[in-house]
Every structure is written in structure tokens, then in C-alpha cells.
Amino acid sequence: MDTIAAVATPLGTGGIGVVRLSGPEAAAVADRVVRLAGGKTVAGMKGYTCAYGRAGDADGEIDEAVVTLFRAPRSFTGEEVVEIAVHGGVYLVNRLLRACVAAGARPALAGEFTRRAFLNGKLDLTQAEAVADLISAEGRQAARAALSARDGALYRRAEAAADALTGYAAHLAAWIDYPEEEIAEVDPAKLGGGLRRCEGDLAGLLGTYDTGRIIREGISAAIVGRPNVGKSTLMNLLAGHARSIVTDIAGTTRDIVSDTIRLGEIVLHLSDTAGIRGTDDPVERAGVDLAVGELARAQLVLAVFDGSDALDENDLRVIRCCKDAVCIALVNKNDLPQRLDMEVIRENFAHIVTLSAKSAEGADALKKKIEELFLLERFDPSAAVVANERQRAAVADALAEVREAADALEAGVSYDAVCVCIERAVDALLTLTGRRATQEVVDQVFSRFCVGK
């Protein structure tokens, strides 16, 4: 492996900017770029120490610098790693990188540091993916879940399942291949129990995917309802500023107004929509069409009703549109005398919150309801979470094979066939961790990374 170099900090103005080197020549390259104070050399430094010096190139001095050394294998990549920190200016950092390249390093490819950590056995594929998830995390739970994965929560679950399954497969194979040897007889009840336990474990793991996704990516939520019920007022309340125009004229909102907000632990991608009603105005009708489309696409629909008014045919149309959606009925304007027929709302919606978008009363109840609906309260960010589509597919494959093995065993199908299923399940789990992943899988994982990571 050659020695690679990249800017490790964002390219912009900051307190410091860091160029990271990894590979057998890292210290030697650094010694060509930085002159340490007191005649010391980077090659002579102890691992996990830093030293002060001046960085320069053929044109002269670049900046003062601090050099940090990590000796192989005790580094992020498992190789010799040197970090050179200068003041965080775009010009300085770029020139420092050029100096390192002139001194013998090769510019790193996207994700190459983490790829090397994977190739050197410092982390498995799920941990490498967690590094990318840590960087892109936008909230406490997302970051916490990524850190658990970085620490190996998913890796350990996958390995434990693969180990158990490998044990079963080995026993079956030995029993099939060497019947005359003294191999303990396969006990179908015991094996079946083990396979079913493993099936339950993998099914549980697969179930973490949806919640994990909501935590990472947030929920798309459409605010719908007939005109004038207070949709835009609610939008502004949730957004915390005057995002949408509010007037007492029915048909105020036409285009979809979007904003991303944080409601406690949940990120909501909100869209405020035009009031749904029959209308001859072509502009308003276009808005109504957009609203109905948004309603159908959203993961969560907030259906707003005016509690101070009786239901009309437009409300009934909204109710019809909500039939197949995950929906919360919001009975708004509860600061006014109530005239809404709650019986109809109760018949049509499993989740109802009454509130006043104008006075903010009931906003907490709405937040609670959304958390409850998306099971976020029960989410344990320190547990293993299936964090992306690649992982989900691998766990689903493993689960299907284990289920098939258990079913085959119960149906009295040959041990050969059972063994094949178990081995396929093990394969899927080893693809998950990368212990037996194809080059394409590995490439796909690291294609998500930026240069310098």
C-alpha cells in the first residue's frame, strides 16, 4: 500500500485545517513537509504524541503547524497515520496538501482512509457505514445510533447469528458426510429450536430498520384540510416563524409550502397545502390537486378540522382522502366555542388531538402523538439497528433462508437441503459484515464517502 494524503477538515475557513496521511511513508512524507522545533523528526516521535513545527514547500514557509503521529497498527486505518494541522484557511490547507503530494504522498480517493481501516481489519462494513452515518447524523438519536453501530452493535449481532448457524451447518454436514464416525446424532427438535430462535432474532433486527430510517431521515408530513381551518397557522406554529401566509380568506394557500422542523427527537418534513374544496378558480384548483397528491405521498397526514364550525362536504372529502393514510386528526381552534361533530371524527380517525394553532395550546400533545405513532419512545439507540438498504437486504436474505431451513426441517426434508439453506443464511450475514463480501459490495459501501474520510 502506498501513502495517501487528503484534507480531513471541511474546505473553508476555520480554526485549524488538517491534512491526514496514512501509509508506510506517512512519517517520512511529513518530515519532508514540516520542520519540527528543536531538531526533532516525525519519524522519531512516539505514537499518540504531537509536536510543534513549521510547514513549508519549495516556495518557502506555508504556516506554523502541529503534527500528530499514530504508529501502526494503533491508528484509525491500522497504518502509520500523521495529521498535520495548520491554520484553517482554504489556501493554506490546499498548499499543505500539494506539499505532501510533492513529498511523495498520493491524493486519497473518496473513502480511502476508511476503506483501508476495513481492509486492515480495524472495522467491518457495518462499522464503516456507521462512520458515514455519524458524519451525516442530524440529531441526538441518529448520532447515538450511529455511534453504537461504530462500536460494533450490529456487527456483534450478525457475528453471533453467523456463528450459531455455522455451528448447525457444520454439525449437519459432518453427520451427512461421515455417518460411520462417532458424531453426535442430529436432534431435530433441538436444531429446530435453535433455528427458530435465530429466526426471531433476525426478524427483530429487521424490525429496527423502519424506526432507524425515521430517526435518520425524518418523516414527511402533509398538513391538509378544507380552507380556513388553520393549516398555515399550524405550519407557522410548528416552524417557529411566519413561513406561510395566514389570512381569514378561504383559499389563501395555493402552492405547497415546505419546511423541515424538529419536534423533540423527530425531524418532520412538513408541507402546508391549499385548502381542499371544489372550486372553479383554475389557480386554486391546481393548488387543490397538489394538496391531494401531497396527502397521498406523505408518511404522515395531519388532517386539520375547525372545531368551532360544523363539518361540511369539503371536510368529508378530506376524510375520504385520508382513508389509506397514517393520519392524525387535528381539531383546531379549541380556544373558540366548539361546534364540530366529534362523533364523525372519532369514527374516521384512530388518532385525534385537539389544539389551538393560534395559541399553541395542545402542541405538546401533538408531539407526543407523533412520537407514539412512530414508536420513537421505544427506540433504544444503543441497540443494533439496521441502518441502510444494503444491510436490510442482507438481513432479510438471512432471515428468509433461516425460516426456510426451519420449515424444511419440520417438514422432514433431507438434512442436505436444510444445510444448504443454513449456509446461504451464513453467506448473507458475512456479506453484511463484509467478511465475505464481493468487491462490488465493498465499492458500493465506500462510494458514499467523501474525500478525506
Ligand X SMILES: Nc1nc2c(c(=O)[nH]1)N(C=O)[C@@H](CNc1ccc(C(=O)N[C@@H](CCC(=O)O)C(=O)O)cc1)CN2
Ligand Y SMILES: Nc1nc2c(ncn2[C@@H]2O[C@H](COP(=O)(O)OP(=O)(O)OP(=O)(O)O)[C@@H](O)[C@H]2O)c(=O)[nH]1
Q: How far apart are CA 21 and CA 324, in angstroms?
A: 54
294 binding partner (options ligand Y, ligand X, Mg ion, none; Cβ < 5 to 8 Å by kind): none
Instruction: Name which of 29 and 246 has its Cβ closer to ligand Y.
Output: 246
DSSP state of 267: E
Examine residue 208 and tell whether it contacts ligand Y (CB under 6 A): no
Residue from the set 336, 350, 375, 450 that interacts with ligand Y by CB under 6 A: 336
Instruction: Name which of 24 and 73 has its Cβ closer to ligand X.
Output: 73
Residue from the set 75, 127, 273, 354 that interacts with ligand X by CB under 6 A: 75
Instruction: Name which of 88 and 251 has its Cβ closer to ligand Y.
Output: 251
Task: Report how far apart, in Å, the C-alpha atoms of 102 and of each of 61, 255, 264, 272 are.
Answer: 15, 55, 50, 55
Cα 195 vs. chain centroid, distance in angstroms?
30
Residue from the set 74, 140, 190, 262 that interacts with ligand X by CB under 6 A: 74
Q: How far apart are CA 265 and CA 252, in angstroms?
A: 31
Instruction: Name which of 271 and 433 has its Cβ closer to ligand X.
Output: 433
Q: 10 Å Cβ neighbour count for 243?
A: 18
| Ranges within 116-135 binding ligand X (CB under 6 A) | 122
Per-residue x/- marks for ligand Y, 288-327, CB under 6 A?
----------------------------------------
To ligand Y, the closest distance from the beta carbon of 139 in angstroms equals 28
Per-residue x/- marks for ligand X, 16-55, CB under 6 A?
----------------------------------------
Examine residue 76 and tell whether it contacts ligand X (CB under 6 A): yes
Residue from the set 126, 354, 356, 391 that interacts with ligand Y by CB under 6 A: 356
To Mg ion, the closest distance from the beta carbon of 358 in angstroms equals 13
227 binding partner (options ligand X, ligand Y, Mg ion, none; Cβ < 5 to 8 Å by kind): ligand Y
Is residue 275 a known part of a binding site?
A: yes
Q: How far apart are CA 374 and CA 407, in angstroms?
A: 32
Examine residue 155 and tell whether it contacts ligand X (CB under 6 A): no
Q: How far apart are CA 66 and CA 73, in angstroms?
A: 22
152 binding partner (options Mg ion, ligand Y, ligand X, none; Cβ < 5 to 8 Å by kind): none
Per-residue x/- marks for ligand Y, 241-260, CB under 6 A?
-----xxx-xxxx-------
- Applying CB under 5 A, the residues found at the interface with Mg ion are 231-232, 252-253
Residue from the set 95, 333, 424, 448 that interacts with ligand Y by CB under 6 A: 333
Q: 10 Å Cβ neighbour count for 175?
A: 16
Q: Are 149 and 124 in contact (CB under 8 A)?
A: no
Q: 10 Å Cβ neighbour count for 129?
A: 25
Which residue number is nearest to ligand Y in terms of Cβ?
Answer: 275
Instruction: Name which of 209 and 305 has its Cβ closer to ligand Y.
Output: 305
What strand order describes the sheet that includes 327-332? Answer: 257-263, 266-272, 219-224, 300-306, 327-332, 352-354
Instruction: Name which of 25 and 306 has its Cβ closer to Mg ion.
Output: 306
DSSP state of 73: T
Q: Which of 19, 80, 17 is nearest to 47 (CA)?
A: 80
Residue with cell 502509520: 80
Examine residue 335 and tell whether it contacts ligand Y (CB under 6 A): yes
To ligand Y, the closest distance from the beta carbon of 286 in angstroms equals 14
Give just the sign of the alpha carbon dihedral 294, 234, 245, 278.
positive
Residue with cell 512516539: 46
Grid cell, residue 192, equals 429446530
Q: Which of 77, 68, 66 is nearest to 120 (CA)?
A: 77
Q: What is the CA radius of gyration of the chain?
A: 29
Give just the sign of the alpha carbon dihedral 80, 85, 90, 93.
negative
Q: How far apart are CA 193 and CA 179, in angstroms?
A: 23
Q: How far apart are CA 381 and CA 199, in angstroms?
A: 22
357 binding partner (options ligand X, ligand Y, Mg ion, none; Cβ < 5 to 8 Å by kind): ligand Y
Examine residue 244 and tell whether it contacts ligand X (CB under 6 A): no
* Binding positions for ligand Y, rule: CB under 6 A: 225, 227-233, 246-248, 250-253, 274-275, 332-333, 335-336, 356-358
* Binding positions for ligand X, rule: CB under 6 A: 70, 73-76, 83, 122
**Binding-site entries:** 20, 83, 122, 228-233, 247-253, 272-275, 453
**Binding-site entries for Mg(2+):** 232, 253
